[in-house]
Structure 1
């Protein structure tokens, strides 16, 4: 991984991302900051379940990744790292870590499927996906969004492949955190590593 990408993943803040202008499975990622905050706090299994599912359903659908996916993955990786550090003292952290392994596995499978197809090169930098030309309107209008989806070039090829490529770059940083004695984590490690070699 190049140092620019690694530095961006490690340093970008939630408030740096225009979530309300990024697409998800069911609309926009406007509510992601609040949901990510709930996951970070790990206060109860119930709240983690609700907000974790809300994010999970909106960053992947039928092997398709979305504009919000690679950005959400950055913060989910940070949450995963914290959950691993706290899981021996906090049952919510243990539960969340297991759920994130499952979600990361789904994302890694999507990436694997995407890499098998013929594709263009991704955008040069992670943050290029936030260039004004790729962002959706400041004000959310469901009807306008529906019309935009009908355009032939709704996501230019290099932008669309970047959803997969940069999600994979985030997952590569999960490798040192994974425990090969845990079956789920070992499977995820194998998937991430296999994707790297495609």
Structure 2
């Protein structure tokens, strides 16, 4: 089932999230719904706060970044990178910072260069609640960092300078008011207040 994606301005996107356990209600269905929602919106990652749930869960399928396109070869680290991250802990962020244009399903039509470290080590539980620890690099590491920020109540626009943020203010205000066209279902915070 495709779920509405929460738009910028909703307080849930600024919450630090809670850990879950194996008894979380209908977790398998939730994970399936998150993947379906992400694919329908042409995303490569989706965190639980983006569907209104303040829990430490996100899903990623970075394989589109692994495919060659007209800009050149894809990133092989992303090619088969499909994962479920439950209660993740970002253990390390290492390497040179590098800039890449990021966007977010909760902040449609805004893409900006964001600098992040090239390598990460992340510890997490998979969908079977088995503990995993992975060292990631390149785009796989970047997508993990972006989604991890979501469960910490942070957004990629927080990494922009004050001038850039000021330039985006009216666009961001319009998103929170629902004055944006998207091809997927969204939930807009200022429309909720009117009800």
TM over 0.5: no
TM-score range, shorter chain: under 0.3
By percentage of residues, which structure has more strand?
2
TM-score (norm 1): 0.25
TM-score (norm 2): 0.25
By percentage of residues, which structure has more helix?
1
